[in-house]
């Protein structure tokens, strides 16, 4: 099969994009096996090299090794998240421990680590460039943190833990997807549609058609459907049914239940940290981030938690007062919050989502994100037709700089489907680097917006539009990367720094120069009225107590899971409830991500002990946008040039704090975040 396997061939395709139409599920196992064998041979050659270690024959050689494996993995894991099927899921379960074992073999290769350690000890005597020095530091840290200094049975145990955690993370993600994909609330009658605006009725009809319920309406667990349903449905019984299904993902018993997976994951993470000399997993994980310690994270979160909880209490009182005035004979519950919050917003700001949404078209918001990048960084975007992509809904754009030079290929995959996991994310089919020549990236943004019926405009909520800008900020971080080494390319930065480019980019969506031009009515083409923009601005911190409590509680639960002894967690639901009770979680609000579907934390190590990072980065993004505001021009060319050089293009080539100080002159205080969320003076 090898000669016919497109994953193992050179690609004579436009932009060297993967030949998706030729790739079949059966190609992956052979491709992975061949690529693993090649990678192992390349690593063995480096480790056994009899020449004295040098940066070129050790670090650069490792950067060049495993190219085939990176290529196959990028395609497979992008598709396993965005367009999976049972065959791919079976391969994913098969490959998770194998790839983890391969990584462990590299990180625990004594000869290889000796070469890296020798170079690290030589330090400044090597006369490395700042980027090379950073790459060497990152390699050394990766080896040490993977157990390279362990001996005997401890090394073996570390490898076993790594493999098992990879299997557990894969199972967690697949279980969550199964629960999301299988649930549907079928709205059978006109009464079931009471209160739903036209845009939601149309989206629910489209979802019903996709799921074989032609002529009916379906609410799925995609945020773009369930959140507006909870916001508008007059049927409290249906709101409760949908909400309970939403928060019960991964907690329904049977094969897709994630509770035992979480318990085993916590135990193994703690054991891994202990083997490396750390008291708990959070201390291990944060030692390599900007925050450094669990205490620093807790300090940040609690400084936000207290005013957020107070603000949420004020908001809850208003909701209850309104419900009582309408004759409700119940206390506000989590499935009531969005519904009554929408009514209060209408009362206080004469603003409701149904009034805004006709002006927020997906295609126009994509254009708005592109123009913002053009005005800040000189980028141009040209849609490319005729490419064979992995799904008919995916769109492709060639990205060029101000001198018409090719920068990247950008893919946009915007619509929800049952083969896609929930959420929104940025990824890449190829990363930027210069070690093998001027390799330009192929970057993808994946969303889960509810697709409008054919021939109609897809309308977004303002939060949806903000999500698109957020993920496009990540995409720019990947596309504008300008480094030599793959190890520090694009978003390969500290977890609590990676959200800075994305969250900062959100600010431009609300700027009048962008909003007034691209927020146009999908029927009339008229620009959003100034009065409506003013209302949006006045209401931008509406419900902020709720939003902050929802997020911060999740971050605190993540932190506590990984600081408390794993033996104390014997029942996931009880542990979660205990942590929330300790911080005084309001009964009317649930975590943004309950434990059993907290994919950031349990579908891999990515955000484990790191969900706080959105808020850590928000301290910086609030301060960074002030740099533009202080000039009186949110597109100031001088500030934009510094932003590009030190944030969007620098990748992980230097310490993140050093890069931020180069951009702004100093590290920020929390005040900018509290002020931005309207929480600064809340008692």
Residues classed as catalytic:
471
Please list, in sequence order, all residues whose beta carbon lies within 8 angstroms of the beta carbon of residue 286, skipping any fewer than 6 positions away. Answer: 292, 293, 294, 296, 297, 609, 610
State residue 388 phi and psi, 5-degree precision.
-85, 105
For the chain, the residue count is 683
Determine the Cα–Cα distance for residues 569 and 561; give it in Å rounded to an integer: 8
What's the CA gap between 499 and 495, in Å, rounded? 7
Question: Please, what's the b/e burial string for 130-153 (b: 16 or more CB within 10 A of its CB; e: otherwise)?
Answer: ebbbbbbebbbebbbbbbbebeee
Cβ-defined contacts of 366-369 (< 8 Å, 24+): 366/412, 366/468, 367/518, 368/469, 368/509, 368/514, 368/515, 368/517, 368/518, 369/468, 369/469, 369/472, 369/505
* CA geometry: angle 136, 138, 139, nearest 5 deg: 65
Residue 159 · residue 673 · CB < 8 Å = no
As beta bridge partners, residue 186 has: 218
C-alpha 358/C-alpha 523 separation (Å) is 8
CA distance 290 to 505: 21
CA distance 316 to 8: 58
Is residue 438 within 8 Å of residue 470, measured between CB atoms?
no
Of the candidates 429, 426, 445, 388, the residue with the CA atom closest to the CA atom of residue 72: 429
Q: Give the integer Cα–Cα distance in Å for 451 and 203.
A: 6
CA atoms of 414 and 361, how far apart (whole Å): 12
End-to-end C-alpha distance for the chain, whole angstroms:
68
Task: Determine whether 404 is exposed, middle or buried from the number of CB atoms within 10 Å of its CB (0-12, 13-18, 19+).
Answer: exposed
The closest of 39, 41, 182, 58 to 128, measured between CA atoms, is 58
Dist. CA 437–CA 243, nearest whole Å: 51
- Collapsing DSSP to helix, strand or coil, 35 comes out as helix
Considering only CA atoms, which of 63, 78, 67, 62 is closest in space to residue 23?
78
| Helical ranges in 276-293 per DSSP H | 281-286
Do 417 and 210 meet the contact criterion of CB atoms below 8 Å apart? yes
Q: Which of 256, 183, 207 has its CA nearest to residue 448?
A: 207
Let me know the angle formed at the C-alpha of 682 by 676 and 683, rounded to the nearest 5 degrees: 155
> What is the Cα–Cα distance from 147 to 154, expressed in whole angstroms?
8
Query: Is the Cβ–Cβ distance between 440 and 407 less than 8 Å?
Result: yes
| DSSP calls for 471-535 | HHHHHHHHHS---S-GGGSTT-S-HHHHTHHHHHHHGGGGSHHHHHHH-B-TTT-PBPPHHHHHH
């Amino acid at each position: 099969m090898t000669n016919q396997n497109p994953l193992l061939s050179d690609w004579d395709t436009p932009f060297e994009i993967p030949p998706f139409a030729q790739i079949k599920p059966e190609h992956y196992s052979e491709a992975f096996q061949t690529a693993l064998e090649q990678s192992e041979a390349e690593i063995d050659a480096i480790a056994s090299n009899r020449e004295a270690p040098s940066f070129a024959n050790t670090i650069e050689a490792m950067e060049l090794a495993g190219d085939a494996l990176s290529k196959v993995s990028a395609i497979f894991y992008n598709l396993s998240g965005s367009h999976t099927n049972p065959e791919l899921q079976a391969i994913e379960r098969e490959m998770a421990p194998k790839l983890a074992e391969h990584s462990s073999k590299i990180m625990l290769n004594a000869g290889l680590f000796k070469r890296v350690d020798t170079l690290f000890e030589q330090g400044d005597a090597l006369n490395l460039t700042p980027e090379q020095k950073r790459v060497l530091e990152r390699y050394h840290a990766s080896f040490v943190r993977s157990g390279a200094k362990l001996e005997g049975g401890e090394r073996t145990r570390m490898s076993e833990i790594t493999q098992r955690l990879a299997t557990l993370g894969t199972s967690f993600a697949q279980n969550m997807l199964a629960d999301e994909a299988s649930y549907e609330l079928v709205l059978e009658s006109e009464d079931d549609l009471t209160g739903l605006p036209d845009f939601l009725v149309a989206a629910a009809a489209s979802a019903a058609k996709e799921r074989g319920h032609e002529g009916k309406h379906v609410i799925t667990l995609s945020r773009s459907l369930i959140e507006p349903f909870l916001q508008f449905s007059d049927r409290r019984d249906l709101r409760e049914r949908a909400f309970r299904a939403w928060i019960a993902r991964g907690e329904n018993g049977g094969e897709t239940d994630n509770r035992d997976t979480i318990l085993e994951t916590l135990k193994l993470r703690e054991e891994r940290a202990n083997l490396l000399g750390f008291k708990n997993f959070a201390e291990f994980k944060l030692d390599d981030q900007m925050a450094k310690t669990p205490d620093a994270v807790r300090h940040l979160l609690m400084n936000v938690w207290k005013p957020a909880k107070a603000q949420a209490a004020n908001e809850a009182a208003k909701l209850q007062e309104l419900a009582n005035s309408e004759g409700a004979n119940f206390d506000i519950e989590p499935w009531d919050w969005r519904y009554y919050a929408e009514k209060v917003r209408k009362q206080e700001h004469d603003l409701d989502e149904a009034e805004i949404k006709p002006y927020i078209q997906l295609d126009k918001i994509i254009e708005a994100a592109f123009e913002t990048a053009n005005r800040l960084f000189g980028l141009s975007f040209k849609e490319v037709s005729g490419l064979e992509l992995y799904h008919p809904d995916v769109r492709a754009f060639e990205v060029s700089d101000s001198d018409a030079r090719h920068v990247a290929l950008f893919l946009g995959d915007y619509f929800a489907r049952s083969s896609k996991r929930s959420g929104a994310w940025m990824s890449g089919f190829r990363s930027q680097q210069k070690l093998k020549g001027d390799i330009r990236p192929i970057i993808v943004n994946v969303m889960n917006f509810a697709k409008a019926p054919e021939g109609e405009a897809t309308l977004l909520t303002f939060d949806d539009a903000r999500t698109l800008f957020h993920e496009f900020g990540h995409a720019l971080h990947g596309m504008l990367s300008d480094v030599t080494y793959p190890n520090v390319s694009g978003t390969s930065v500290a977890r609590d720094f990676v959200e800075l480019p994305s969250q900062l980019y959100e600010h431009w969506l609300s700027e009048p120069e962008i909003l007034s031009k691209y927020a146009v009515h999908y029927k009339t083409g008229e620009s959003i009225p100034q009065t409506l923009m003013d209302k949006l601005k006045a209401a931008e911190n509406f419900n902020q107590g709720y939003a902050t409590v929802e997020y911060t509680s999740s971050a605190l639960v993540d932190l506590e899971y990984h600081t408390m002894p794993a033996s104390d967690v014997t029942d996931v639901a009880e542990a979660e409830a205990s942590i929330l009770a300790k911080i005084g979680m309001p009964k009317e609000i649930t975590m943004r991500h309950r434990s059993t579907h907290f994919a950031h934390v349990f579908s891999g190590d990515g955000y484990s002990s790191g969900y706080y990072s959105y808020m850590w980065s928000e301290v910086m993004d609030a301060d960074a946008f002030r740099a533009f505001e202080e000039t009186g021009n949110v597109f100031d060319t001088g500030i934009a040039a510094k932003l590009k050089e030190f944030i969007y293009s620098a990748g992980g080539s230097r310490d993140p704090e050093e890069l931020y100080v180069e951009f702004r002159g100093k590290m920020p205080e929390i005040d900018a975040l509290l002020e931005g969320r309207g929480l600064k003076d809340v008692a």
